[in-house]
A and B are shown apart, each in its own frame.
Chain A
Protein backbone atom coordinates (compact mmCIF):
# COMPACT_ATOMS: atom_id res chain seq x y z
CA UNK A 1 0.00 0.00 0.00
CA UNK A 2 1.32 3.41 -0.99
CA UNK A 3 1.73 5.71 2.01
CA UNK A 4 2.94 9.29 2.19
CA UNK A 5 3.39 10.92 5.59
CA UNK A 6 4.11 14.62 5.87
CA UNK A 7 5.57 16.33 8.92
CA UNK A 8 7.23 19.55 9.98
CA UNK A 9 4.31 21.95 9.87
CA UNK A 10 3.62 24.47 12.59
CA UNK A 11 3.35 28.12 13.52
CA UNK A 12 6.02 30.46 12.20
CA UNK A 13 6.36 34.23 12.09
CA UNK A 14 6.42 36.17 8.81
CA UNK A 15 9.92 36.18 7.40
CA UNK A 16 10.73 32.88 9.11
CA UNK A 17 11.68 29.49 7.72
CA UNK A 18 10.32 25.97 7.97
CA UNK A 19 11.26 22.61 6.47
CA UNK A 20 8.59 20.05 5.66
CA UNK A 21 9.28 16.36 5.15
CA UNK A 22 7.34 13.61 3.40
CA UNK A 23 8.26 9.97 3.91
CA UNK A 24 7.06 7.49 1.31
CA UNK A 25 6.55 3.75 1.67
CA UNK A 26 4.96 0.90 -0.26
CA UNK A 27 6.40 1.97 -3.61
CA UNK A 28 9.66 2.63 -5.42
CA UNK A 29 10.41 6.12 -4.13
CA UNK A 30 13.47 6.37 -6.38
CA UNK A 31 11.37 6.20 -9.54
CA UNK A 32 8.62 8.58 -8.46
CA UNK A 33 8.17 12.20 -9.49
CA UNK A 34 7.20 14.01 -6.30
CA UNK A 35 5.22 17.20 -5.85
CA UNK A 36 3.97 19.57 -3.19
CA UNK A 37 0.46 20.98 -3.37
CA UNK A 38 -1.05 23.39 -0.85
CA UNK A 39 -4.52 24.47 0.17
CA UNK A 40 -5.18 27.69 2.04
CA UNK A 41 -8.03 27.53 4.57
CA UNK A 42 -11.35 27.37 2.74
CA UNK A 43 -9.67 27.67 -0.66
CA UNK A 44 -8.82 25.42 -3.60
CA UNK A 45 -5.74 23.41 -4.44
CA UNK A 46 -2.56 25.19 -5.54
CA UNK A 47 0.47 23.48 -7.02
CA UNK A 48 3.70 24.48 -5.27
CA UNK A 49 6.40 22.57 -7.12
CA UNK A 50 7.82 19.22 -8.08
CA UNK A 51 11.03 17.25 -8.38
CA UNK A 52 11.62 14.60 -10.99
CA UNK A 53 13.26 11.27 -10.27
CA UNK A 54 17.03 11.20 -10.41
CA UNK A 55 16.71 8.90 -13.42
CA UNK A 56 14.83 11.68 -15.21
CA UNK A 57 17.34 14.32 -14.16
CA UNK A 58 16.16 15.22 -10.66
CA UNK A 59 15.18 18.71 -11.83
CA UNK A 60 12.77 20.99 -10.00
CA UNK A 61 9.99 23.34 -11.06
CA UNK A 62 8.17 25.89 -8.92
CA UNK A 63 5.00 27.93 -9.03
CA UNK A 64 5.58 31.66 -9.44
CA UNK A 65 4.41 32.66 -5.91
CA UNK A 66 7.07 30.49 -4.25
CA UNK A 67 9.92 30.58 -6.74
CA UNK A 68 13.17 31.81 -5.16
CA UNK A 69 11.75 31.28 -1.64
CA UNK A 70 10.98 27.54 -1.57
CA UNK A 71 13.32 24.66 -2.41
CA UNK A 72 12.31 21.07 -3.07
CA UNK A 73 14.82 18.27 -2.58
CA UNK A 74 14.79 14.53 -2.09
CA UNK A 75 16.85 11.89 -0.32
CA UNK A 76 16.13 8.61 -2.06
CA UNK A 77 18.20 6.69 0.51
CA UNK A 78 15.64 7.78 3.12
CA UNK A 79 12.57 7.71 0.87
CA UNK A 80 12.05 11.31 1.88
CA UNK A 81 10.93 14.46 0.08
CA UNK A 82 11.63 17.90 1.52
CA UNK A 83 10.23 21.39 1.14
CA UNK A 84 12.45 24.14 2.50
CA UNK A 85 10.39 27.30 2.91
CA UNK A 86 12.15 30.61 3.50
CA UNK A 87 10.96 34.20 3.82
CA UNK A 88 7.50 32.97 4.69
CA UNK A 89 4.51 35.23 4.18
CA UNK A 90 1.06 35.17 5.75
CA UNK A 91 -0.33 34.06 2.41
CA UNK A 92 1.73 30.87 2.66
CA UNK A 93 -0.60 29.69 5.42
CA UNK A 94 -2.05 26.41 4.16
CA UNK A 95 -2.22 22.66 4.43
CA UNK A 96 0.70 21.25 2.50
CA UNK A 97 0.31 17.91 0.75
CA UNK A 98 2.98 15.81 -0.92
CA UNK A 99 2.08 13.65 -3.89
CA UNK A 100 3.80 10.78 -5.69
CA UNK A 101 3.30 10.13 -9.39
CA UNK A 102 3.35 6.38 -10.03
CA UNK A 103 2.40 4.94 -13.41
CA UNK A 104 0.47 8.09 -14.34
CA UNK A 105 -1.50 8.04 -11.07
CA UNK A 106 -1.00 10.54 -8.25
CA UNK A 107 -1.10 9.42 -4.64
CA UNK A 108 -1.59 11.98 -1.87
CA UNK A 109 -0.45 12.26 1.70
CA UNK A 110 -2.65 13.51 4.55
CA UNK A 111 -0.97 16.89 4.74
CA UNK A 112 0.78 19.06 7.32
CA UNK A 113 -0.51 22.47 8.38
CA UNK A 114 1.67 25.57 8.12
CA UNK A 115 0.49 28.76 9.78
CA UNK A 116 2.38 31.99 9.18
CA UNK A 117 1.33 34.61 11.70
CA UNK A 118 2.85 37.14 14.06
Chain B
Protein backbone atom coordinates (compact mmCIF):
# COMPACT_ATOMS: atom_id res chain seq x y z
CA UNK B 1 0.00 0.00 0.00
CA UNK B 2 1.06 3.52 -0.82
CA UNK B 3 1.89 5.68 2.20
CA UNK B 4 2.86 9.32 2.71
CA UNK B 5 5.18 10.45 5.51
CA UNK B 6 5.50 14.02 6.77
CA UNK B 7 7.60 15.55 9.55
CA UNK B 8 5.58 15.96 12.71
CA UNK B 9 6.43 19.63 13.09
CA UNK B 10 8.47 22.48 11.64
CA UNK B 11 9.06 25.99 12.85
CA UNK B 12 10.42 29.16 11.32
CA UNK B 13 10.44 32.90 11.86
CA UNK B 14 8.16 35.42 10.16
CA UNK B 15 9.46 36.53 6.78
CA UNK B 16 11.50 33.36 6.28
CA UNK B 17 10.89 30.42 3.95
CA UNK B 18 9.89 26.94 5.09
CA UNK B 19 9.57 23.69 3.16
CA UNK B 20 7.39 20.79 4.31
CA UNK B 21 8.21 17.41 2.83
CA UNK B 22 5.90 14.50 2.01
CA UNK B 23 7.71 11.26 1.22
CA UNK B 24 6.01 8.41 -0.56
CA UNK B 25 6.60 4.72 0.10
CA UNK B 26 5.11 1.64 -1.52
CA UNK B 27 4.84 3.39 -4.87
CA UNK B 28 5.97 6.32 -7.01
CA UNK B 29 4.83 9.75 -5.86
CA UNK B 30 4.98 10.90 -9.47
CA UNK B 31 2.31 8.39 -10.51
CA UNK B 32 -0.56 10.48 -9.13
CA UNK B 33 -1.16 14.12 -8.31
CA UNK B 34 -0.43 15.46 -4.84
CA UNK B 35 -2.61 17.94 -2.98
CA UNK B 36 -1.82 20.03 0.09
CA UNK B 37 -4.38 21.13 2.66
CA UNK B 38 -4.07 23.80 5.31
CA UNK B 39 -6.00 23.43 8.55
CA UNK B 40 -5.92 26.33 10.97
CA UNK B 41 -6.80 25.61 14.62
CA UNK B 42 -10.52 25.00 15.05
CA UNK B 43 -11.25 25.21 11.32
CA UNK B 44 -11.92 22.88 8.43
CA UNK B 45 -9.14 22.07 5.96
CA UNK B 46 -8.80 24.13 2.79
CA UNK B 47 -6.84 23.34 -0.38
CA UNK B 48 -3.68 25.38 -0.88
CA UNK B 49 -2.08 23.28 -3.66
CA UNK B 50 -3.66 20.77 -6.06
CA UNK B 51 -2.32 18.72 -8.96
CA UNK B 52 1.23 18.91 -7.53
CA UNK B 53 1.81 22.62 -8.10
CA UNK B 54 -1.44 24.43 -8.87
CA UNK B 55 -2.73 27.18 -6.59
CA UNK B 56 -6.45 27.79 -6.16
CA UNK B 57 -7.58 31.34 -6.69
CA UNK B 58 -7.23 33.30 -3.48
CA UNK B 59 -4.18 31.37 -2.26
CA UNK B 60 -1.14 33.70 -2.16
CA UNK B 61 1.75 32.99 -4.51
CA UNK B 62 3.89 32.60 -1.39
CA UNK B 63 2.64 29.01 -1.47
CA UNK B 64 4.16 26.63 -3.99
CA UNK B 65 4.26 22.87 -4.54
CA UNK B 66 6.70 20.59 -6.27
CA UNK B 67 7.53 16.95 -6.88
CA UNK B 68 10.97 15.32 -6.75
CA UNK B 69 10.96 11.89 -8.33
CA UNK B 70 14.53 11.17 -7.29
CA UNK B 71 13.58 11.33 -3.61
CA UNK B 72 10.02 10.15 -4.19
CA UNK B 73 8.73 13.17 -2.36
CA UNK B 74 6.50 16.19 -2.69
CA UNK B 75 7.16 19.53 -1.06
CA UNK B 76 5.13 22.51 0.03
CA UNK B 77 7.15 25.72 0.24
CA UNK B 78 5.87 28.84 1.96
CA UNK B 79 7.91 31.99 1.52
CA UNK B 80 7.61 35.29 3.37
CA UNK B 81 6.08 33.51 6.35
CA UNK B 82 3.28 35.24 8.21
CA UNK B 83 1.82 34.39 11.59
CA UNK B 84 -1.46 33.54 9.82
CA UNK B 85 0.32 30.65 8.08
CA UNK B 86 0.58 28.85 11.41
CA UNK B 87 -1.49 25.71 10.88
CA UNK B 88 -1.43 21.98 10.26
CA UNK B 89 -0.58 20.98 6.69
CA UNK B 90 -1.52 17.66 5.11
CA UNK B 91 -0.37 16.15 1.85
CA UNK B 92 -2.71 13.81 -0.01
CA UNK B 93 -2.46 11.58 -3.03
CA UNK B 94 -4.05 8.47 -4.47
CA UNK B 95 -3.67 4.71 -4.25
CA UNK B 96 -5.31 1.81 -6.04
CA UNK B 97 -6.63 0.42 -2.75
CA UNK B 98 -7.66 3.70 -1.12
CA UNK B 99 -8.59 6.48 -3.52
CA UNK B 100 -7.33 9.04 -1.00
CA UNK B 101 -4.14 8.64 1.03
CA UNK B 102 -3.14 11.32 3.56
CA UNK B 103 0.15 12.10 5.17
CA UNK B 104 0.10 12.32 8.94
CA UNK B 105 0.20 16.12 8.94
CA UNK B 106 2.83 18.70 9.84
CA UNK B 107 2.33 21.38 12.47
CA UNK B 108 3.86 24.65 11.28
CA UNK B 109 4.79 27.10 14.00
CA UNK B 110 5.68 30.65 13.01
CA UNK B 111 7.58 32.18 15.89
Contacts and interface: CB of A to CB of B under 8 A. Distances in A.
B47 A45 contact: no
Q: Is the interface of A mostly helix, strand, loop or mixed?
A: strand
- Size category of the A interface is 10 to 19
B54 A104 contact: yes
Interface stretch (B11-19, B23-31, B78-86, B99-107): B99-107
A35 B35 CA distance: 15
Contacts of A61: 99
B108 to A, nearest CB: 14
27 contacts: A35-B100, A44-B90, A44-B104, A44-B105, A45-B39, A45-B90, A45-B92, A45-B102, A47-B98, A47-B99, A50-B99, A50-B100, A63-B98, A64-B98, A97-B44, A97-B45, A104-B33, A104-B51, A104-B54, A105-B56, A106-B37, A108-B44, A108-B46, A108-B47, A109-B44, A110-B44, A111-B44
Interface of A: 35, 37, 44-47, 50, 61, 63-64, 97, 104-111
